[in-house]
C-alpha cells in the first residue's frame, strides 16, 4: 500500500494490460504525438510501450502497477545492467515504429540527452493512468513506490515530461525542473526534472 492505494511490482503477465493502460494514458501526449507517426498511431504507441515494459522495464528496471493495472510506472535504475545494450539493439525497431516521425524522434532524443544527468539516477521512463481512473491518487502511488526505493538506495530520481500540467504534480513529489526547452522540429516544450534523495 502506498498512500492508501494498493501497489505491487509488475510481473510478465501484466505486460499486455499495462501496455493498454499506457497507450490510453498517452493517447494525446505531446511528446508521443510528435515522435510517433499519425498513421496507425495508437497501435504504434502501444508497441512502443509494450517493448519498453517487456524488454527494458521488467528485465532491467523496476515496474510498479496498481491493482487492476489502472496505473503503471516504469523505472530504469543504476543497477539495471544491460539496459543500454538492449536499447541499442531495439533502436531499429523503435525507428521503424516511429514511422515518418523517425527524424523527429531522433532529434528529440538528442536534445533531451543534453539535459540528462551524468550521475547515477533512478530514471522514471514512463508513467500513466487510465483516463477513467485519474484523480484517485494512483499515479502518485505507483511513482511513490519507486521514489521510496530510490531513497532507500541513496540515489536521486530523474524524469522528463512534455505536459505542463504534470510539472506541478512532480514538484509535489519533490522534483525540481533542471531544464525547460522546446524540442526541435516544432516539438513540444519539455521539462527535465530531478529529485534529490529524500525529496
* Residues 6+ away with beta carbon under 8 Å from 168: none
Q: For 166-196, write each residue's pLDDT tens digit.
A: 999 999 999 999 999 999 999 999 999 999 9
pLDDT band of 85, cuts 50, 70, 90: confident
CA atoms within 13 A on the CB side of 195: 26
- Determine, yes or no, domain membership for 1: no
pLDDT of residue 4: 61
Question: d(Cα 19, Cα 23) in Å, to the nearest integer?
Answer: 6
What is the domain range of residue 89? 7-195
Domain count, the chain: 1
pLDDT of residue 184: 96
- Determine, yes or no, domain membership for 128: yes
Question: d(Cα 11, Cα 85) in Å, to the nearest integer?
Answer: 22
Phi and psi angles of residue 73, each rounded to the nearest 5 degrees, phi first: -135, 130
CATH code assigned at 139: 3.40.630.30
User: Locate cell 540527452: which residue?
Assistant: 113
- Determine, yes or no, domain membership for 43: yes
- Determine, yes or no, domain membership for 2: no
pLDDT of residue 163: 95
Rounded to whole angstroms, what are the CA distances from 185 to 27, 42, 110?
21, 22, 12
- Determine, yes or no, domain membership for 126: yes
Please check the confidence at residue 1 and state whether its pLDDT lies above 60: no
- Determine, yes or no, domain membership for 94: yes
Which of 173, 134, 106 is CA-nearest to residue 27?
A: 134
Q: For 34-74, write each residue's pLDDT tens digit.
A: 999 999 999 999 999 999 999 999 999 999 999 999 999 99
Q: What integer best gives the mean pLDDT of the chain?
A: 94
Angle (CA) 151-156-158 rounded to 5° is 125
Q: If residue 124 lies in a helix (H) or strand (E), which one and from where to where?
A: strand 122-129
- Determine, yes or no, domain membership for 167: yes
Please check the confidence at residue 119 and state whether its pLDDT lies above 80: yes
Amino acid at each position: 500500500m502506498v498512500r492508501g492505494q494498493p501497489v505491487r511490482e509488475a510481473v510478465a503477465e501484466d505486460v499486455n494490460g499495462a501496455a493498454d493502460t499506457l497507450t490510453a494514458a498517452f493517447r494525446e501526449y505531446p511528446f508521443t504525438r510528435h515522435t510517433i507517426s499519425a498513421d496507425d498511431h495508437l497501435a504504434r504507441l502501444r508497441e512502443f510501450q509494450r517493448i519498453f515494459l517487456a524488454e527494458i522495464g521488467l528485465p532491467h528496471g523496476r515496474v510498479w502497477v496498481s491493482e487492476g493495472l489502472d496505473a503503471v510506472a516504469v523505472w530504469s535504475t543504476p543497477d539495471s545492467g544491460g539496459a543500454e545494450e538492449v536499447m541499442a539493439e531495439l533502436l531499429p525497431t523503435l525507428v521503424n515504429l516511429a514511422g515518418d516521425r523517425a527524424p523527429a524522434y531522433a532529434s528529440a532524443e538528442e536534445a533531451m540527452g543534453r539535459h540528462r544527468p551524468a550521475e547515477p539516477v533512478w530514471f522514471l521512463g514512463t508513467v500513466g493512468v487510465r483516463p477513467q481512473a485519474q484523480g484517485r491518487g494512483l499515479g502518485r502511488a505507483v511513482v511513490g513506490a519507486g521514489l521510496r526505493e530510490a531513497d532507500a538506495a541513496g540515489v536521486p530520481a530523474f524524469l522528463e515530461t512534455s505536459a505542463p500540467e504534470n510539472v506541478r504534480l512532480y514538484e509535489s513529489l519533490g522534483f525540481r525542473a533542471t531544464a525547460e526547452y522546446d524540442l526541435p522540429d516544432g516539438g513540444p516544450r519539455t521539462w527535465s526534472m530531478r529529485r534529490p534523495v529524500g525529496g
